[in-house]
Amino acid sequence: MSKPFVYLLLNVIMMIWGLNVIALKILVEHFSPVTLTSFRIFTAGIVVILTLLFIGQLRKLTWKDIMYICSAALFGVVAHHLFLAVGLTKTTASNAGLILALVPLVTSVFAVVFLGHRFTVFRFVGILLGFTGVMFVVLNGKSGIHLVSIGDFYIFLAVLTQGISFIIIKKATQTLDTRMMTGWMLLFGSLLLFFISLWMEPNGLLSMANGTTPIWMIFLASAVLATALGHMIYNKAIQQIGAAESAIFINLNPLFSLLGAYLFLGESISLSQIMGFILIVIGVILGSGMLDESGVFSRRSKVLGK
């Protein structure tokens, strides 16, 4: 694929991922959140595995592959989607979209801690700006930290667990195809989520019988377009143009989440959310190491440690 075409695909995927937050907000208002998530992730996993089978990219897994897949699934599928689903029942879609924009920044912090990436001035300033932006979002004009929504806290936990999963995936995909790992992660994680849902939501399966045709269309769009095909295309983009350049496009997610929440859910956009969005985007650009890896101002960047 040519670079312009990859850029076009990334823009489309970022729009889908941003609007997927809106879709999930709608879905958790109609279905039990954990049960819904297990079915949605299972559907996505089946789509990925069938796609890989069709293109002949499936192979046998080693025990080392299985250990990586199970570890990444626990953090990136079970914990991440569990916190995301429950959090969306207790906060707004616009807040969730903005907090989720911290994923590249948190991943960068974990990369410094666990992968030995260098800690530069850009990263330090970016981390401060990014988390300051989140404070603007979660406080949202209220008068104190004690009024932070528990839903916002759950969304932040979803960010942390996904960041951990990305570190595991980074290690695993040195020998394992990212698309195949994604498929098996989704399947394994969805099964664990289903058993958790039986415990947390005894009537969860009954709630799935209450969906209307439009709601099920949103469900399929979220599972197939956002979770299955979205991750496959994004992983392919990483292979084509690199992780740093691909990560820049993630900054578009909160923009589409904010617009989607305003257009489809009638949520208002406050000044504090706009300020938070600006700080998070700047923080992600600096803190994720994009400028360091691209060489911009690299000679002026002072290394604080390794």
pLDDT (tens digit per residue) in 253-286: 777 887 888 888 887 777 777 887 787 777 767 7
Q: Which DSSP symbol is given to 296?
A: T
Residue-range definition of the domain harbouring residue 110: 3-305
- What tokens were used for 128? 């401060």
CA distance 184 to 196: 18
Nearest Cα neighbor of 45 from 161, 194, 173 is 194
- pLDDT higher at 283 or 232: 232
The mean pLDDT value of the chain amounts to 80
Q: How many domains does the chain have?
A: 1
The SS3 of residue 130 is helix
- CB proximity list for 5: less than 8 A, separation 6 or greater: none
Residue with tokens 């002072």: 302
End-to-end CA distance of the chain: 36
Q: How confident is the model over 31-45, as pLDDT tens digits? A: 998 999 999 999 999
| pLDDT, tens only, 153-203 | 999 999 899 888 878 887 887 788 878 888 999 999 999 999 999 999 988
State CA 149 to chain mean position distance.
20
Closest CA to 184 of 34, 306, 77: 77
Contact indicator for 209, 96 with CB cutoff of 8 Å: no
Nearest to 191 by CA among 4, 301, 45, 8: 45
